[in-house]
Structure 1
Amino acid sequence: MEQGDTLLAARGLTDDRDRLLTADEPLAELHESCGGVIPGTFAVPELLALVQQGREMGLRLAREFKAYDGSDMVSGFVRIHPLDSDEGGGCEVLVENWQRTPADMGTTREVAERLDAIDRASAELSARLDAGQRVQLLQGQSADTEELEALVKGDPGKLWSDYLILHGIAHRQPLHWRLLDGVECEIPGSDRVWRVRLLPIGSTGGAPQGFELLLIADQPLDNNGIPQEAAVPPTRLVGTALTPVLRQPIARIIANAETIRAKLAGPLRDEYSEYAGNIAAAGQHLSGMLDDLADLEVVEASDFSTARERVDLGDAARRAAGILGVRAKARSIALELPDDDTKIAAMAEFRRVLQVLINLIGNALAYSPEGSRVTIATEVQEDGWVAISVADEGPGVSEEQADTIFDKFERLGRGSDGGKDTGSGLGLYISRRLALAMDGELTLVSPANEETGAGARFTLRLPAFE
């Protein structure tokens, strides 16, 4: 179904376990683009919720729905007819008035693009794949990827998964790309565990024209090419015990609340839609706090350390600003960045520098008035030091607030433009701990602008790369 086309109807059948057994082509395509297979659990969350509701309550339902298929927004009108037990106990699904329109750049896509950008920055091996997931070009950046590079060069054109050992995947390849995105794997010649990212490129009738393959290692290499000791011990209360258990139910709460807020499950009074929006926002806050607590556990570990590598501060600034560009544009805040030809190298860990900058720039955007400016600048200092600073045009920080702004769980340091303070109070504390772990420091100057007496400037100072 091409963009803008309308189709009268598409039919599908599910069983008593909400697995899609058969489907007309448009419904099958939508199901597969969301990572499903036939037969298999209905992979379109918006339709799955309606099928479950109709089957469990034994009620016929008729609703408008919208679903994101990875490139466009698909909408239509769906009818759910529960079947008797002698007919399989599932549901008949009939979708009418299909519409395909370009998806809005909403919060979900912004978050996804932010994560993709971080993974691109962290990947030590990348490849270009064709539409059939066969390797066309592969490039590594680490000593322990050389054997894989040689293997691909000597026997090119195979499925990318034929060169690797995938964890937890027993099915014959190639699987649908959504089912492979995020899996762990091993690569020849490396003792490290790697994570796979598959990012689709273009689309033809809803199918990607190719893929960007990223391999991200769980541990950095030291200067001798040996995997460093893992920063996180085998068991931690939050990072390895609570986070995996809580992540899925929190995500389900957010998704269900967003479904209710958007009235995808049927008409709803406005006040209840607002309640659902508050639930979704609270879930997102809880998810963010869980991430912060996991990071806190890591940086406070006695054996925590960071890698030592060459980090281009200008490049790190541009990547961090790119990740937060949508948020800046939404508030009409201009981001001033170092020139592309500015090359100032620090001895640090790129991933941690990026983490600190994302936190500093995110804070600056949150606490600056609309239509203002956030300036990111790099500097070569004396005695073998380099620095990168983030300055905003917000209200600034008082002397009393400045004394405690880097403290753990400090949430009273600054008031945002919107009058809300929903952070965990850990961002600046973690950022300073990361700076210290890289043999640097994170400092605050307020006011950032001596002429206007407003704003704040946070400066990350690091050893220069020699």
Structure 2
Amino acid sequence: MTAVGLIRARCDATDRLVEADETLAALQVRVGGAYPGKIALPELLALVRRARTLRVPLCSRLTIDGDGQPVSFFAKAVPQEGGTSIEITDWKVAEQAWQNEAGASADLALLRILAEAHLVLDAEQRVVSGMVTASDLAEFGDTVRQCFGRYWTNLVELGGNLHRQPPHWRLLDGAKVEVPGSPRTWQAKLLPLRDGGFELLLIAETVLPLPIMASPDGRDLQEAPEWKGLLGQMLAPALRVPINRIIANAETIRSRLAGPLDLQYVGYASDIAEAGRHLASLVDDLADLETVEGSDFTPVVEQIDLGDCARRAAGILGVRAQEKGISLMLPRPEELHGAAGEFRRVLQILLNLIGNAIRYSPSETTVRVECGVDGNLAWAAVEDEGEGILPEQAAKVFEKFERLGRSGDGGSGLGLYISRKLARAMGGELSVGKGASGGARFVLQLPADLACQSSVAG
């Protein structure tokens, strides 16, 4: 079932459930336990007992067969003086509760993601529990909480349905409904549960209209949403957490830290981890794209050493180079190549240039990074021994989402575009030409900091 909000409970020192919100207490009784009484859910009991014994908070996602209808939830057990507190979130019908046809699970999972209202119905289509997430369904959510036990069709306007009792569920599956308080049209999707009852999903058929504002001359105008900062400041940080978790879990599986695993599934885990890293890189690139294209973007000007930046970037990418058998030739530590620019942005540019050189170079070759100062300009060049870039491609390679026909290499087509934007924002330039070995040679130029220069020692 899908419950509303956070579910709280408390156990005493003997793991007896002494306090619980209605949803958990009802499940405790349905599976044959007493309330108050010993926890009758084996998985939850094990989590609580382990947390109490170890004296540390523990979290786990549990799936429990609640009287024939499996439910899934995220449980947190926190040891306290004289017992254990329990917090339960994300309570929902477990996937194995659906009467899925073969191959339909992915489609159903997508429907559940798109749905903005989730209701659990009994076999007669009466409301057992519910949750809404859309702002225009707030009134409907209040109604649901007050109308447990009523037929769901009495809570919406169903075109052509004059029956007080709902018809067969197959006639209602896919029906369009109007929800009081919402300006949108909704589609009802009924998913039969394994042992009777249904999960009802409401999926929007139309989008919410934008708010209306008056123009200076009195005309009504649609107010454009404020997109500035949406990706970089809001979505990117929120996306990085689950993406990093996917990568970490996939690497745990790939490295078999959780136990023996068939070689085939090790390969699958490796693919998942690599896809996760690609997605994380894309999120970072899109966030940077939003930043550098902002009218108020101004890099910090500070005194930096291009040689030091190059060595740091190469150190970060050293493992990747070793895996391909690529040698990195870098400026010597005793050389100073002073430039004026923002350290982290210059490091970002060099990471992109050296990373691309490693990615597109043949195995057992060399990537050279050189630095120098010519007059008022300091420069860092990254040269590989790959196929190189044709003259007619030199300008095109810096365009947004341009990958020169390459596919499946993990790139987003944004790195060089962002790098050039950053270089120019710092008063410099990024260009590409042909290296001595025929490969690509990218050159980053920045204003020189003549106060930070030295000759090669010795």
TM-score, normalising length from structure 2?
Answer: 0.50
Structure having the higher Rg: 2
TM-score, normalising length from structure 1?
Answer: 0.49
